[in-house]
Amino acid sequence: MCAARILYGKPVQEAILEEVRQGVEELAAAGLRAPKLAALLVGDDPASAIYVRSKTRMCSETGLDSEAFQLPSSTSTEELLKRIDELNHDAGVDGILVQLPLPEGLDTDVVLDAVDPAKDVDGIHPENVGLIVQGRPRFVTCTPGGIIELLERNEIEIHGKNAVIIGRSEIVGKPMAMLLMHRHATVTICHSRTQDLPGVARAADILIVAIGRDAMVTPEFVKPGACVIDVGINRVADRQRVEEIFGADADWQKFEDRGYLVVGDVHPAVAEVAGAFTPVPGGVGPLTIGMLLANTLRSARRRLGVGS
């Protein structure tokens, strides 16, 4: 029997989007234009194409303008920089999103540094990361910001708790640590060289997992009753691995239809130990998009002179 609370992302995303819709209506009532997001997708990674499509679809459902630019994988860093420069100078664009990962051969740091920090609605430009570190964020990085919304809107206490983050990426692990620390958690960041990872993770009241390895976090990593947030989205196409992870509970119909199953970084058996956990899919994913739209509204308000 699974007694843990399941923390679904959809209701929190819907609450965030409702706030964004209201903000867009307020702009319209003041005679101002809708916020606009420009998304750059380089190459033909199918998962990235799906993410960009769902971001632009969600924009139109929420009253934001959006435009997706699909560039071939042969695009050079210089060509991409030129496109970013045009968007930086386009007064009608409030937010610029460069979908990651970029194809090999492109310099991700150079590309991300080129985005105007005032339009960096992903919250990953060094200037915006610096503001997050100082506790006065302009744009909160989308996935960590969404996780904070999920915790707070589900009334999961952060203040004074032990938070352990597995994964030290620029886009999740590092900003997540700052956001939790500013909310008075005691934060530990773990990574591939951490000794006794299960032991360190077991100290967590809040365990955040963002390592990109299917079902790696098993019940031995989890203190009974802990809140476990799973950021992983892994496609498992190997039948034997699906069997190892899910045993008799595997959804073979879905596996046959798609050729893979989507699995988080957290093993399904953790549901038997945790006090609360996010499902994959349907947990953290929707929140990232919600925060992206909230940041785009925030950018538009700042740029139109009606917000700070």
* Per CB under 6 A, 97 contacts ligand GUN: yes
Phi, psi (degrees; rounded to nearest 5) at 208? -115, 125
- In the list 13, 66, 75, 99, the residue contacting ligand GUN (rule: CB under 6 A) is 99
Is-contact 268 245, C-beta < 8 A?
A: yes
* Per CB under 6 A, 296 contacts ligand GUN: no
Cβ at position 240, least distance to ligand GUN in Å: 28
Angle at 242 between CA 239 and CA 245, to 5 degrees: 150
Give whichever of 122 and 205 is closer to ligand GUN, judged by the CB atom: 122
To the nearest 10 degrees (0 to 180), the angle between helices 142-153 and 173-182 is 40
Give whichever of 132 and 222 is closer to ligand GUN, judged by the CB atom: 132
* Per CB under 6 A, 66 contacts ligand GUN: no
Q: DSSP assignment, residue 275?
A: S
> Helix, strand or coil for residue 289?
helix
- In the list 38, 59, 171, 276, the residue contacting ligand GUN (rule: CB under 6 A) is 171
Distance in angstroms between the alpha carbons of the first and the last residue of the chain: 48
Which structure tokens are listed for 95?
Answer: 């937010």
Beta bridge partners of 188: 164
Which structure tokens are listed for 266?
Answer: 């957290």
In the chain, how many H helices and how many E strands? Answer: 11, 11
Q: Is position 122 annotated as part of the catalytic site?
A: yes
Q: Is position 55 annotated as part of the catalytic site?
A: yes
* Per CB under 6 A, 122 contacts ligand GUN: yes
Give whichever of 100 and 250 is closer to ligand GUN, judged by the CB atom: 100
Quick one: CA dihedral 198, 204, 209, 210, positive or negative? Answer: negative
The count of residues interacting with ligand GUN (CB under 6 A) is 9
- Which residue in the list 65, 94, 120, 122 is annotated as catalytic? 122
- In the list 143, 234, 295, 299, the residue contacting ligand GUN (rule: CB under 6 A) is 143
Is-contact 132 278, C-beta < 8 A?
A: no
Beta bridge partners of 277: 6, 228
* Per CB under 6 A, 234 contacts ligand GUN: no
* Per CB under 6 A, 68 contacts ligand GUN: no
Is-contact 231 279, C-beta < 8 A?
A: no
Using the contact rule CB under 6 A, the part of the chain among 83-91, 95-103, 161-169, 179-187 near ligand GUN is: 95-103
> Helix, strand or coil for residue 159?
coil
* Per CB under 6 A, 142 contacts ligand GUN: yes
**Residue with CB nearest ligand GUN?**
100
Give whichever of 75 and 99 is closer to ligand GUN, judged by the CB atom: 99
* Per CB under 6 A, 100 contacts ligand GUN: yes
Q: How far apart are CA 155 and CA 176, in angstroms?
A: 18
* Per CB under 6 A, 115 contacts ligand GUN: no
Cβ at position 106, least distance to ligand GUN in Å: 13
Q: Report CA 84 to chain centroid distance, whole Å.
A: 22
Give whichever of 97 and 178 is closer to ligand GUN, judged by the CB atom: 97
- Which residue in the list 36, 55, 161, 223 is annotated as catalytic? 55
* Per CB under 6 A, 13 contacts ligand GUN: no
Which residues are catalytic, by number?
55, 99, 122
Q: Summarize as ranges the residues that interact with ligand GUN (CB under 6 A).
A: 97-100, 122, 142-143, 171, 288
